[in-house]
Structure 1
């Protein structure tokens, strides 16, 4: 199944984004081994997480409408946030992947959400720490991912929020709920 999904994703993405997705697979597999999760499922979610990333804002909004995705005010103003939800529906209906873990991991990989499963959190974090990422603090987060997973999630969320604030962009409420949940769940992070 993974090979079929990889080929479909390869056709949807430009070369740089496809290389990123392959790097996310590597990071996700390494993390999944730590938690003894289904490697095939992790690989599918990781390779497909950005399958809608190369869509234009208009295409994302049209696809969201087509799939019946409820688009909130922030997503209307920042349609790139829809690449996760749209990608999840593409996987479900066009790739015929009916797995709920894969669907949710792709759907929430950009914003995070309160109560994320380990599976979902691995895709979120693998996307953040993939070897093609190069920003201040990423090496620390990579190290923490294997030493203190919850702390790595918090650091990655904090980094995202700092970036969004510095760009003077809107912050999606799911990301705030995600950050607060991480802190409340892991008092010792």
Structure 2
């Protein structure tokens, strides 16, 4: 897989704030490092990290219109927090507008906010990298960072649990894929113990 990294970085930078671009670089480098540690493709991880927030700052109406129009994106998403929207919209847009056709990368982008049951290795890596990149500072992030270097699945389970608790405390509806991701990861880990 080859891609023009510098050109993509310029296109990504034009879509977001400087703060979010720094986050994006942190996610890309963290994802690449985790890919090397856990045997995933580092180039795919870097690409997914670069592109994961491509639509993060798009107007709500623009994302809503894409979700309603595109059959590949579940309109049920509109019933949940708009913070979830940029992931599936982003996967659609980077394929359509940037010509990214690698399904592993597209799926990692698509599920980096919600997760899902039976996540692929790259999906897990991007989800965790987005959670622990060096710019993130919130209670519990250091524990997840440490776990991520010991056991990716344990780190993902803990991060998903933290996310669920945060959403519950905020009295936000929880997207079903996130619950399925947590339950699936918990079942997988219990089987291996």
TM-score, with length taken from structure 1: 0.95
Structure 2: where are the runs of 5+ without partners? none
Match of residue 152 from structure 1:
155
Match of residue 170 from structure 1:
173
Question: Which segment drifts farther, 147-156 or 53-62?
Answer: 53-62
Give the one of 125, 131, 135 matched to 1:132.
135
TM-score, with length taken from structure 2: 0.93
Paired residues for 1:1-189 under 5 Å: 1=3, 2-68=5-71, 69-72=73-76, 75-187=78-190
Give the Cα–Cα distance (whole angstroms) in 1 for the partners of residues 45 and 169 of structure 2: 32
Give the Cα–Cα distance (whole angstroms) in 2 for the partners of residues 146 and 183 of structure 1: 19
**Alignment check: 8 A CA contact 1:10 1:18 kept:** yes
Per-residue CA distance 1:135-163 (angstroms, 9 max, x = gap): 11100000000101111001100111111
SS in 1 for 2:112: coil
Give the Cα–Cα distance (whole angstroms) in 1 for the partners of residues 130 and 78 of structure 2: 20
Structure 1: where are the runs of 5+ without partners? none
**Alignment check: 8 A CA contact 1:129 1:141 kept:** yes
The structural deviation recorded for 1:77 is 4.2
Give the Cα–Cα distance (whole angstroms) in 1 for the partners of residues 164 and 95 of structure 2: 29
Per-residue CA distance 1:22-75 (angstroms, 9 max, x = gap): 010111011001123222211110010011100122121012234332210x53
SS in 1 for 2:14: helix
